Amino acid sequence: MKDMDRRGFITSATMLGVGAAMMPAIAERAHGATARVPLSRPVVISSANGVRASARAMELLRQGADTLDAVIAGVNIVEDDPNDDSVGYGGLPNEDGVVELDASVMHGPTCRGGAVASLRNIKNPSKIAKLVMERSDHVLIVGDGALRFAKAHGFKEEDLLTEQSRRKWLEWKERLSTEDDWLPAHDAAAKDVGAVIARSERLTGTIHCAAVDAKGDISAVTTTSGLAFKIPGRVGDSPILGAGLYVDNAVGAAGSTGRGEANLLSCASVMIVEWMRLGKSPEEACLLAATRVVDHTKMRRLLTDDGRPAFNVRYYAVNKAGQYGSASIYGPGTFAVNTGEQASRLLDGAYLFKTPEKQ
């Protein structure tokens, strides 16, 4: 981010009531990517795992597809990919070894949204979220009801656990505790068997994808297998409109990846859209959301020794004018953009703190 932009952000952040204590943190951030493209050109943005998704969505937009159909077709590539273990087929399972998926969609031009949570055995929850929007009078359907709704519309059940995800789940289970009966392979001299989980990462991979077309219409989708090895029935931010995703066709779209519990507590996506409505750039609005999460993280168990969150969240935003940006608590990190002129690119997002070196 250029100095002038950063000064602008700090001024506006102060006006919006960002605590003075956060200023050093904001000053620490090093990178950013905000760009403006003419409204006559469509834009698709996505989380970093959405390079193929954003390219596919752009291809469809150029053929005249609706923005929501375009982004859903984009994320379906990742949902179908057995090698992406954070979304759809092959997603990491809950603590019982069962894959449970969450997704939401919003269609800007008609001000509609739909979502599913804890959906089992259907690999494209984004398609079911759209069906909830179009073929029910509801916005969110969960669990067995969501599965029955999908089957009523002709979707076939399938086992979503791949061999790779099952192995990762079993490894987690075996290392969960030194006090249960599940143990990893080890030799007679091994120490701390089972305690390894404290040092292993709980994955919250997700894909978010948003599109603005040449008319300025906006839609977005967020889809995920949620927190790896979660308590069955745990629902993150992805299927909650306002938390994991929000669209206002008059303003723009926002979405999130990372620790869903933090986004649920801050309703970050709707806040980002509202900050953009007040005149913030997408990147500035994403930074304000990351700052809000830092300010609202008070529980010691969620803080590092230096008092910062012990987790990350990342936000993505695009406005009606075609500006886009992304920001996270910890960086550097990237997000995918396709403006139709070239292949999808990964750009640096802004961030508040440098990711600490692993000990």
Q: Is there binding between residue 226 and ligand GLY (CB under 6 A)?
A: yes
Q: Is there binding between residue 239 and ligand GLY (CB under 6 A)?
A: no
Applying CB under 6 A, among 12, 34, 257, 281 the residue interacting with ligand GLY is: 257
User: Which residue stretch of 171-179, 235-243, 281-289, 338-346 sits at the interface with ligand GLY (rule: CB under 6 A)?
Assistant: 235-243
Nearest-approach distance from CB 256 to ligand GLY, in angstroms: 6
Q: How far apart are CA 305 and CA 313, in angstroms?
A: 19
Q: Is there binding between residue 46 and ligand GLY (CB under 6 A)?
A: no
The Cα-based distances of 326 to 76, 261, 287, 307, 315 in angstroms read 22, 19, 8, 24, 5
Number of residues that bind ligand GLY (CB under 6 A): 12
Applying CB under 6 A, among 194, 252, 260, 333 the residue interacting with ligand GLY is: 260
Nearest-approach distance from CB 32 to ligand GLY, in angstroms: 22
Nearest-approach distance from CB 227 to ligand GLY, in angstroms: 5
Residue 34 or 126: which CB sits closer to ligand GLY?
A: 126
Residue 18 or 106: which CB sits closer to ligand GLY?
A: 106
Task: Give the chain as a 3 state SS string.
Answer: CCHHHHHHHHHHHHHCCCCHHHHHHHHHCCCCCCECCCCCCCEEEEEHHHHHHHHHHHHHHHCCCCHHHHHHHHHHHHHHCCCCCCCCCCCCCCCCCCCCEEEEEEEHHHCEEEEEEEECCCCCHHHHHHHHHHHCCCCEEEHHHHHHHHHHCCCCCCCCCCHHHHHHHHHHHHCCCCCCCCCCCCCCCCCCCCHHHHHCCCCCCEEEEEEECCCCCEEEEEEECCCCCCCCCCCCCCCCECCCEEEECCCEEEEEEECHHHHHHHCHHHHHHHHHHCCCCHHHHHHHHHHHHHHHCCCHHHECCCCCECCCEEEEEEECCCCEEEEEEEECCEEEEECCCCCCEEEECEEEEECCCCC
Residue 175 or 259: which CB sits closer to ligand GLY?
A: 259
255's tokens: 């979405």
Nearest-approach distance from CB 239 to ligand GLY, in angstroms: 9
Residue 34 or 49: which CB sits closer to ligand GLY?
A: 49
Q: How far apart are CA 258 and CA 240, in angstroms?
A: 14
Q: Cis link prior to 332 (omega < 30° from 0)?
A: yes
Applying CB under 6 A, among 50, 93, 114, 236 the residue interacting with ligand GLY is: 236
Residue 236 or 322: which CB sits closer to ligand GLY?
A: 236
Nearest-approach distance from CB 260 to ligand GLY, in angstroms: 2
Amino acid (one-letter) located at 89? Y
Active-site residue, selected from the candidate residues 34, 67, 204, 206? 206
User: Which residue stretch of 16-24, 29-37, 234-242, 265-273 sits at the interface with ligand GLY (rule: CB under 6 A)?
Assistant: 234-242
Nearest-approach distance from CB 321 to ligand GLY, in angstroms: 27
Which residues ranging from 147 to 206 are in contact with ligand GLY (CB under 6 A)? 204, 206
Other C-beta atoms within 10 Å of 277: how many?
A: 14
Residue 128 or 321: which CB sits closer to ligand GLY?
A: 128
Helix axes 51-62, 67-80, angle to 10 degrees: 150
Applying CB under 6 A, among 227, 267, 271, 288 the residue interacting with ligand GLY is: 227
Q: Is there binding between residue 100 and ligand GLY (CB under 6 A)?
A: no
User: Which residue stretch of 57-65, 233-241, 278-286, 304-312 sits at the interface with ligand GLY (rule: CB under 6 A)?
Assistant: 233-241
222 is catalytic: no
Q: Is there binding between residue 238 and ligand GLY (CB under 6 A)?
A: yes
Nearest-approach distance from CB 236 to ligand GLY, in angstroms: 2
Sites of contact with ligand GLY (CB under 6 A): 204, 206, 224, 226-227, 236-238, 257-260
Residues marked as catalytic:
206
